[in-house]
Chains A and B, each alone.
Chain A
Amino acid sequence: MKGDNNFRNFSVAIISTWLGIFALFAFLLVLFASFMQPDSNKIFNFHFTLSNYTTLFSSLYVIVFFKSFYIAGACTLFCILLGYPFAYILARKTSRWKDLLLLLLIIPFWTSSLIRSYAMVAILKTKGVLNNFLIHLGIIHHPLQLLFTNTAVMIGLVYNLLPFMILPLYANLEKFDNRLIEAARDLGAGKVRTFTKVILPLSLPGILAGSILVFLPAMTLFYIPDLLGGAKALLLGNLIENQFLLTHNWPLGSAISVTLTAVMGIMLVAHWLSSKNRSGEDFL
């Protein structure tokens, strides 16, 4: 037993140290930098200021914020619309296809998502796979301008994030009690009512979990707008990337990062509170 304890303490210590250095310490550095004055010659000036945060309220940054929310929201919606039927069918299936389909869902993770985004470029570009295919079928006669549009960014984001919606939904729907569906049918509910009154409300936690996993990364996957949207599409992630790599304004980049983290934090806490309320209600 003592050996088990030692091993546990050791594991916990390693994980804590790792998180402490690479997550907490890094975040504290960013937090610290966000309150420093920018300096074009060095990383920052050791002078406390709130100006980085007040800058964020200028219309330019507010617009980027809202646009990011809009794109991330739309991306989440598309992922729900595409992912829900997929997860539902996957969870209801009992055949051996289920394992295969799950495997197909996970295989893309074996390749870096950056490389997969380059593959999307090859598919979407003017003389790319998709245009050639559509022309070959005779559906279109001239290649479509897909690459460097908002559509391309949306396709890229949905493609990259769809599994993060499907997997929690699948986990939720897979343990769904079939007898509830039978009970609803027995009581006279049609397919639509069974879905809207029984299946959908009970899979809401899965939808919420998937939405958080999709919505938050959707705002920050900067290389997707970079590669697929050209210079036109700007997400919060791109804004941060630009501050650090292009304009070398680390304090402003830090301030945006901290703000984004705070927004995400608030959303997670809201989710946690709502789920806590729900379960609290159940066991009163």
Chain B
Amino acid sequence: MSDKTVVEIKGVSKSFNDQDVLKCIDLTIKHGEFLTLLGPSGCGKTTLLRMISGFEEPTNGDIYIDGKNAKGLPPHERHVHTVFQSYALFPHMTVSDNVAFGLRCNGIPENEVKPRVEEALRMVKLENFGNRKPAQLSGGQQQRVAIARAVVNRPLVLLLDEPLSSLDYRLRKTMQMELRQLQRKLGITFIFVTHDQEEALSMSDRVVVMSEGVITQIGTPRQVYEEPACLSVAKFIGEVNIFETNVSSITDGKITVNIEGMPHTYPNKHNFSVGDKALVLVRPEDVRVYDSNEVTDTSNMYRGIVEDFTYKGTTVDLMVRLDSGKVLATTEFFDEDDDSLVYTLGEKVWLHWVNGWEVILPHEG
């Protein structure tokens, strides 16, 4: 990745039939980075992608590709290629002809087409499949053909529109890794659209979280997970326990809030005043759960009752009802030697979380 900007989106908005799909989007994409547009369906991420690819024009604002304003440029003049959600391979052509299509459209001489097609197929490990038709390939193989068909044209940017969504879970995991490796090898900028937060976190250099036509946060996977900028990001990426509370006092730049009957003190990062509403977010895996005979000092712990218990192989997920009535989700990583991870419904437990691992946000609305 370099600091060179490859795509710049300036104040772009888009409306269809007077409905705003995207509102004033600003985004700078660096050369060689793996950027993910993440959000629920209908958040505008695919529309943004289609505007970069040239299938849609922004209602307002400009998109610069490689420093050039792309306004009015047709898709193939943008040095940007798209891998479509359903791959959109030409069913009547062989794999080789599919991959060669773009080269032939651009008038590359036939003696150059063949080695480039072979190289692209070798890259996606399909060198022996050139003579097959797309229907004779598995979903994962079709996916790779679609990628080869796009990268063979040596685009500046590769746009991927939920390319893994129709694959089964295991294949998806494999393809995620392969895509990541391919991207590193090629050094091409990838703009990847997905609604799968796990996919976004595991693949991207940066994640752009979108919601209802606006960007809610841009950051590394770690930033968006550990320091969500707002409640919608926190809720969309991963599970989260939310406590609504008030700032009861402020001393030495630290706020004190009351969470389910217990005071907690945190740094005042959001300029709270006394009486302001605040949200305290705690990830389930940050909550520690103890049997009643495991702990002696329970002064800083919450007491609760196990309401639900889910064994997930690597983790054990609990739903714990606190004395206050609040239900908390917790996740503990499984350790076969640890009997204490065996719970029964209705069992009394103690829990707490490490001070400083929670996220504090101002109350919205």
Contact = CB atoms under 8 A, between A and B. Distances in A.
Nearest to B50: A182
B122 to A, nearest CB: 20
A189 B81 contact: no
A129 interface: no
A187 B133 contact: no
Interface in B86-104: 86, 88-92, 101-102
B262 interface: no
B75 A185 contact: yes
Given A186-B75, A186-B76, A187-B149, A284 B136 contact: yes
A138 interface: no
A193 interface: yes
Contacts of B82: 182-183, 186
A179 B146 CA distance: 13
A266 B322 CA distance: 81
Interface in B10-31: none
Nearest to A194: B105
Contacts of B101: 184, 187, 189, 197
A283 interface: yes
A178 B364 CA distance: 42
Contacts of B86: 177, 179
Given A187-B101, A187-B105, A283 B136 contact: yes
A228 B150 CA distance: 57
A171 interface: no
Contacts of B153: 187-188
Contact of B74 (A183, A185, A284): A185
B105 to A, nearest CB: 4
A187 B81 contact: yes
Interface in A235-284: 281-284
Contact of A188 (B84, B88, B102, B135): B102
Contacts of A177: 86, 88
B348 to A, nearest CB: 55
Contacts of A187: 76, 81, 101-102, 105, 149-150, 153
Interface string A207-224: 000000000000000000
Contact of A182 (B55, B89, B106, B149): B55
Contact of A281 (B55, B90, B105, B133): B133
A182 B136 contact: no
A82 interface: no
Contact of A183 (B84, B92, B106, B133): B84
Interface string B169-199: 0000000000000000000000000000000
Nearest to B153: A187
A188 B106 contact: yes
| A interface residue count range (under 10 / 10 to 19 / 20 to 34 / 35 or more) | 20 to 34
A180 interface: yes
A202 interface: yes
Nearest to A181: B88
Given A180-B90, A186-B53, A187-B76, A282 B135 contact: yes
A80 B135 CA distance: 29
B16 to A, nearest CB: 13
Contact of B88 (A183, A202, A283, A284): A183
A50 interface: no
Nearest to A178: B88
Contacts of B85: 179
A3 interface: no
B91 A186 contact: no
A198 interface: yes
Contact of A202 (B55, B75, B81, B91): B91
A179 B84 contact: yes
A230 B243 CA distance: 92
Contacts of A184: 90, 101, 105
B106 to A, nearest CB: 5
Interface string B132-162: 0101100000000000011001000000000
Contact of B105 (A182, A193, A283): A193
A165 to B, nearest CB: 21
A75 B101 CA distance: 35
Contacts of B81: 186-187
A202 B136 contact: no
25 contacts: A177-B88, A179-B85, A180-B88, A180-B90, A183-B84, A183-B88, A184-B90, A185-B74, A185-B75, A185-B76, A186-B53, A186-B55, A186-B82, A187-B76, A187-B105, A187-B150, A188-B106, A189-B101, A190-B105, A197-B90, A202-B91, A282-B91, A282-B135, A283-B135, A283-B136
Given A183-B88, A183-B89, A193-B105, 13 more contacts: A179-B88, A182-B75, A183-B82, A183-B84, A184-B105, A185-B55, A188-B106, A190-B105, A201-B92, A202-B91, A202-B92, A282-B91, A283-B136
